[in-house]
Amino acid sequence: MIPAIDLRGGRCVRLLQGDYARETVFGDDPVAMARRWEDEGASRLHVVDLEGARTGVPCEVESIERIVAAISIPVQIAGGLRTLEHANRYLRAGAERIVFGTAAVKNPTLIVEALAMDAGAVVVALDHRDGQVRTEGWLEASSLCVVDLARRVQSLGVQRVLSTDIARDGMLNEPNYTSLAELSAATSMAVIASGGVSAINHLLRLAELGVEAAIIGRALYTGAFSLREALEAVE
């Protein structure tokens, strides 16, 4: 389980289905939130720069650097990573992984360059709605389906992908097991699941599907279950 910290305006927020007009604020201190998840047993954090994802330019660099410096567990960063310079800044600050979404569709050369720099640090986000990959902070539709993009980035040497069903993100229903199973069957990459987790039994089913990890956001913030409960159940 990987707790998510989504940043916007320096605060910890959650969106519904990636809709920037449907935002809930869960905290004003991202560093305190990161320490909370570390204290509760998280082995990794997923931190997203929401405005960066939408604009293509990182907007929460200082907040993210403070988070990375304040905790000892690995951090993966997503949102607005469109250049090697931006990615390198986070890696130099101590982030373990960098997540590319839009760049994987629009600038695959950047993915190749990032892989050459540190293949283990690269994660490609497969953000999709109704099976169709979306970019630019989930606002723009592409012509690619999830499996097609997955196969494409695997051919470049990508080792790990993050699959998010946008329609389920923040909705507290359940993950898209069908899509995740298809993705796992079509490639040999490690798969991180995101979107829809709202109960511990969802995590158990994801484990049965063979996903490497699941990102959890709203379910933790609203108290649907605790991180400790989830960790104990999966272990």
For residue 29, indicate whether it is catalytic: no
Q: Which of 28, 39, 118, 127 is catalytic?
A: 127
pLDDT at 171: 60
pTM for the predicted model, two decimal places:
0.94
How many other CB atoms are found less than 10 A from the CB of residue 155?
Answer: 10
Helix, coil or strand: residue 137: coil
Structural domain boundaries in the chain: 2-234
Distance of CA 138 to the CA centre of its chain: 13
Measured CA to CA, the distance from residue 147 to residue 103 in angstroms comes to: 17
pLDDT at 168: 75
Q: Which of 6, 49, 165, 169 is catalytic?
A: 6
Mind listing the pLDDT tens digit of every residue in the chain (235 residues)? Answer: 899 999 999 999 988 877 788 888 999 999 999 999 999 999 999 999 999 999 999 999 999 999 999 999 999 999 999 999 999 999 999 999 999 999 999 999 999 999 999 999 999 999 998 889 998 877 788 889 999 999 999 999 999 999 999 887 766 689 999 999 999 999 999 999 999 999 999 999 999 999 999 999 999 999 999 999 999 988 8
Enter the CATH code of domain 2-234: 3.20.20.70
